Chain A
């Protein structure tokens, strides 16, 4: 994967005093805003477990105050995002059996967000961005009081609605992962998905294009697709949301009629990624130097 997870946020782990052999060895990050380190825990493996099960077992038997955010443990709420062996993922959907057993499993908090405690980060940035998004504004209903929409016209919107707001896409986005200073002017992949879902909603009547371009900072995104790679819901964030949004903005500047036509039929923009890249790359992607992909990133 192309994600650079950076150096571990800690010094070397403390070895425990009396560790029975063959146990799972877990390195969990413990600490708070003022600092912390990986702590080593040993637990007996159990059949079919996911990382969150093991973290819970450590919590229940060895570290009662270990902070971890979770809700459903079924991949539906998007609460337990973390970096497992450096790879951003949901703890509840990562089976232990998929991880190498010959080395410790490390679990650290998402890096793009300030640490609250242990594995819990402060994701309030996302909720602040959410408040800024101009809300859905539907057109009038049919005379019988219903809205009619064809399934084909909402397929793409439904793909976007799968988002569970785990914020892993935000976590890996180069524009903000290591650049806190970009946050005020950049909405991030989660919110490009949200904006795309509004823009492609067959009933919506608002025009958010200038806003997306100017206030949400979509131009900073240089489509490295890291967000798409980590999405646990397999949303094609870059191809289906970001690129079409960039395209719409470009198009509308040259051809408002084309935009209007799409808005009325509600059909999503056909996927012509290469063309979109050409447009966006040439005319509108003006990433600040800080957001340029690091060597080794795939585009």
Chain B
């Protein structure tokens, strides 16, 4: 018999970023008894860091914009690997979700006639990102947080979920976690569980991601038997800080380029003009003059190559640095100082101004920033059904960064925040509908609970020298060096072997101290998730023998027809992670027409 606190709910939402908050709000409003569980404090989730904006075809700046154009941009940005139905739902519903945030108190920047202002971002044909300076995620999370609190959702914060519970048929019927403060375990019985745990960036050394991004949801899903999809698709954001060392990886928002910032190499050359791929040539400016006109006249001019999708820009920066044309600290220059007045820069990009001033002693209104690629976003994730966000396991739903499919092989900036609220809402709705159909209270298996708590605390009994911090550091180095922005089979195979060794070592980590707020113990448990998910990323990266979006293979450059129509599925089979190719869903003809020559 384990001594755990016990709670029963209709719906348990794991994760309180944008996706989890929106899911919980929906489930609660549909009448489900709903719990919201998060491993940090409420309002601190990774979503709070989002800067540039939320993409939605509101058409308040460019009336020409429409869901069809947004859909097309999203699919092309994802190199057509996206689940077409998710991309369609996203483009159709994101405007309503943005307006809803306003209804809940968000204050987006305004146009002169008082509507929501939209800003340019890479890969978006029109200025499409509703924003609040460069702190849009904060605005979003507060609006959702206040809403969630005002409708009385039960929040369990600083509580980490360790495993899901399943009934005899395999359906998810609960979860086990512990309070980080006391180490005391809790068992949730639930009729439906929504995973909204965010990404996996902490498996890489240089990342924009926060502490919590350890892939827990993906791992929980895997362990419950669910499929992951396209895990090889990892986004390296082109512009992270490169100096000082302690700030390396921190995001420099794409808003800098959206608002006119340009990339230059050591020689002052705007090198992006040398990296326009045929896929985007028709819609990209060929000269500096043309690119500069585009900011004010989108009808007659094409956008500058600095605003190509992120995978293109990240690869270009990587090549410039490799060719010896980089900046002193191994990046390139991002220059807004010569393009905008100091007042404009401080107004449009206050957090960037602040971040460079405080952390690097650099005034971005006078000095170019040094930037380079940094691990930013997981396009891959838990495989879901497009309309309901149901995973391949009954009773389990997923939304937000932890889910896959929506962004294909590369995500456009701004499309995550909109994804969170569009699919968070749908996941909450589907979970509530399921829960309200199931009578009685959920029956969790006490034996499963005992197994989970026994396993989780076993680290305190381990003896030996393995240390979670050291294993984590080696994991980050492995993923950075071998499963990074440019990949090659020999290195991926090496990574696979190293991960196996690291998993073995991680299982032997010895934890010092007691259960009370013990970061060494928390990290040992987070490592289980990071290792499981890193494994799937590596397996998928080996299997996709082509280059597409966030997955670049030195040994297989360019698209390959045999991979055009396949998704990489990873799952746990008999204790082993395995990868399989499965056909990608095909879009109906009326949508396919949007991609024909000349269509906008």
A residues contacting B by CB (< 8 A) are 32, 46-50, 53, 59-61, 64-79, 93, 95, 116-118, 120, 122-123, 127, 130-131, 133, 135-136, 138, 145-151, 154, 157-158, 161-162, 164-165, 198, 201, 204
The stretch of B376-384, B514-522, B545-553, B555-563 in contact with A is B514-522
Contacting residues, chain A, for B359 (C-beta < 8 A): 48, 50, 93, 95
Given A67-B517, A75-B355, A136-B105, verify A148-B113 contact (CB < 8 Å).
yes
Q: List the A side residues contacting B133 at CB < 8 Å.
A: 158
Which of chain B's residues have a CB closer than 8 A to the CB of A73?
Answer: 210-211, 250
Task: Evaluate contact between A64 and B99: CB separation under 8 angstroms.
Answer: no
- What residues of A have a CB within 8 angstroms of the CB of B132 in the complex? 158, 161
Q: Is the CB–CB distance between A65 and B513 below 8 Å?
A: yes
> Closest 7 A-B residue pairs measured CB to CB?
A48-B244, A65-B513, A148-B114, A64-B520, A135-B150, A60-B469, A136-B105
Q: With A and B bound together, what is the CA distance between A53 and B396 in angstroms?
A: 38
Measured CB to CB, the nearest residue on chain A to B516 is A117
A165 to B521, CA, bound (A): 27
Interface residues on B, range: 35 or more
A114 vs chain B, min Cβ distance (A): 11
Contact B519 A65 (CB under 8 A): yes
Q: How far is the CB of A130 from chain B (nearest CB, A)?
A: 6
- The answer to whether A164 and B114 have CB atoms under 8 Å apart is no
- CA of A145 to CA of B102 in the docked complex: distance in angstroms? 12
A117 touches B210 (CB 8 A): no
Interchain CB contact under 8 A, A145 and B99:
yes
A232 to B246, CA, bound (A): 20
Q: How far is the CA of A65 from the CA of B142 in the complex (A)?
A: 31
- The 8 Å CB contact of B138, one of A67, A79, A135, A161, is A161
Do A123 and B517 touch across chains, with their CB atoms under 8 A apart?
A: no
Q: Are A127 and B44 in contact (CB under 8 A)?
A: no
Nearest to B40 among chain A residues (CB) is A71
Contact with A along B354-382 (1 / 0, CB 8 A): 11001110000000000000000000000
User: Is A70's CB under 8 angstroms from B247's CB?
Assistant: no
Q: What would be 18 A-B contacts, judged by CB atoms less than 8 Å apart?
A: A48-B244, A48-B246, A48-B247, A70-B211, A71-B46, A72-B49, A73-B210, A73-B250, A74-B49, A74-B251, A75-B354, A136-B104, A136-B105, A136-B146, A138-B103, A148-B113, A149-B114, A151-B110
Bound state CA distance, A78 and B512, in angstroms?
28
17 other A-B residue contacts (CB within 8 Å) besides A74-B355, A75-B351: A47-B244, A47-B245, A48-B360, A49-B244, A59-B520, A60-B470, A73-B250, A76-B48, A78-B44, A116-B181, A127-B41, A127-B155, A135-B149, A138-B103, A162-B138, A164-B48, A165-B43
Task: Say yes or no for B109: interface residue by CB 8 A criterion.
Answer: yes
Query: Chain B contacts of A148 at CB under 8 A?
Result: 113-115
A211 to B: closest C-beta gap in Å:
15
> In the complex, A93→B597 CA distance in Å?
50
- A50 with B246: in contact, given A64-B468, A120-B517 (CB under 8 Å)? yes
Residues of A within 8 A of B115 (CB): 146, 148
CB 8 Å contact bits of B7-36 with A (1 = contact, 0 = none): 000000000000000000000000000000
Do the beta carbons of B351 and A76 come within 8 Å of each other? Answer: yes
Considering the chains assembled together, what is the distance between the CA atoms of A61 and B472 in angstroms?
13
Indicate if B283 sits at the interface (CB-CB under 8 A): no
Residues of A within 8 A of B355 (CB): 74-75
Residue interface mask B142-156, A partner, CB < 8 A = 1: 100011011000010
B139 within 8 A of A: yes
Q: How far is the CA of A201 from the CA of B115 in the complex (A)?
A: 15
CB A106 to nearest CB in B, in angstroms, measures 20
B109 engages A151 (CB within 8 Å): yes
Whether B358 contacts A164 by the Cβ 8 Å rule is no
Query: Shortest beta-carbon distance, B428 to chain A, in Å?
Result: 19
Q: Across the interface, which residues of B come within 8 angstroms of A123, CB to CB?
A: 41
Chain A's closest residue to B470 (CB) is: A60
CB pair A161 B246 closer than 8 Å? no
Contact of A71 with B518 at beta-carbon distance under 8 Å, contacts A47-B244, A151-B110, A154-B107 already known: no
CA distance A74 to B135 in the complex (A): 12
A115 to chain B, nearest CB (A): 10
Contact A67 B518 (CB under 8 A): yes
Minimal Cβ-Cβ distance residue in A for B509: A64
Taking CB as reference atom, which chain B residue is nearest A60? Answer: B469
**Which B residues are in CB contact (< 8 Å) with A157?**
107
Cα A67 to Cα B513 in complex, Å, equals 11
With the chains together, A138 CA to B355 CA distance in Å?
34
